[in-house]
Amino acid sequence: MPHKMKLEFECMWKKVLTEKFNVIAVGKLFRQTTGGLVVGCEDGVIRLYHLPASSNVDAQLQLKLCLETKGGPLQSLVLDDVTKFGSTDVISGDSRGTVTIFCNGQILNRQSVSGYSVNCLQVDKNATGNLSIVCGDSGGNLNALLPYSQVWKCQLGADSAQAATKSPSVKCLLAATLASSSGQASNYVLAGDDCKMLHFLQQGTTVHKIQTPAVVTAMCCGQWLTKDEVDVADTRPGVVSQVALGGHDGSVYIMSNFQVHVIQYCNVLLPITQLSRLPSIHGDDLDLLLVAGHFSSVFLYHAKQLICKCEVPDWVNTMTVADIDHDGNEEVIVGCQDQTICALKLR
């Protein structure tokens, strides 16, 4: 049954990079006044490109800055003011277990957190403004860092009988302020592992965990189901009650009030690696869900129904959303395995 919302993607521009990359982000780095495309590459270099000024499919990406991490292939990347100097810092994780923090264009600190690949990075912030950089690796280790110190460290599943035979691998991380059915809000780090478990951590302690229908490989916050479908209380701005869980089997389920909703939101039948939210434009307060992964398309869902899809050159291994043309609406930027980066606009 076709969805009554009529939307489609338009390719604003695309570019094939010469360097292999695994992760992208968009933002204003350090004290620069204009935003750019930040690319974490396999040669250990973070490259910043000027964003094209106009919608031109063949627009050129002009290299603006190179940051040498002096490490291995980059697997994760986050932009945030972790030094609290009033400008955006760059934090990267590589396949050798090293986390590198750049401040004002220079390496502020490099920390070897484990002997495994740092595949996930999040910045965890609490209500008082305190923050930590949380990284998860393929060995099941979680580390929370500050620029010059370690805050806490733990290993997923260390308290379970399964840990004696298999160490879970961290597949995805999400730092979020979540609300319970009573409306009470707290900040958590959610960690999905390859044993179909979702862990809820606070200050390095697992305070709750649930079994998931599939191995969770991507997560994002938003409003996906109506209040009639889930038991949620009214929350203040910045507090969410629902999290979309993307699975390795292609399924998407919604987690609310620390429980997975029994009805599947959607299923693309192929491994999901990326989920992102676009704000509602339908007037019903339900957000749009972007789904990408081991397939050459980006799918857009609303209220459990597929609205449209956009064909891209190859499997999508990284995706972000940002208002790159300053029109007040967020665009979708995807990075593909064939080294193509595409900017997509929803019409």
Q: What is the DSSP secondary-structure string of 258-322?
A: TEE-SS--EE-SS-EEEEEEE---SSSSPPEEEEEESEEEEEEEETTEEEEEEE-SS-EEEEEEE
**Residue 186's pLDDT is what?**
87
The residues pairing with 125 across neighbouring beta strands, listed in sequence order, are 131
**Residue 273's pLDDT is what?**
97
**Residue 185's pLDDT is what?**
83
Cβ atoms of 224 and 289 within 8 Å: the answer is yes
- Distances from the Cα of 347 to the Cαs of 12, 145, 223, 281, in angstroms? 11, 41, 21, 11
Extract the residue ranges of the chain whose pLDDT is less than 50. 1-2, 164
**Residue 56's pLDDT is what?**
67
Q: Which two tokens stand for residue 128?
A: 């008082």
- Distances from the Cα of 30 to the Cαs of 21, 106, 134, 273, in angstroms? 22, 10, 21, 29
Q: Which residues contact 215 (CB under 8 A, 6 or more apart)?
A: 171, 192, 193, 194, 195, 196, 247, 248, 249
For the whole prediction, is pTM greater than 0.85?
yes
d(CA 15, CA 27): 18
d(CA 345, CA 148): 40
**CB-CB neighbours of 110 under 10 Å:** 15
Q: Which residue has the tokens 């999290």?
A: 243
**Residue 2's pLDDT is what?**
44
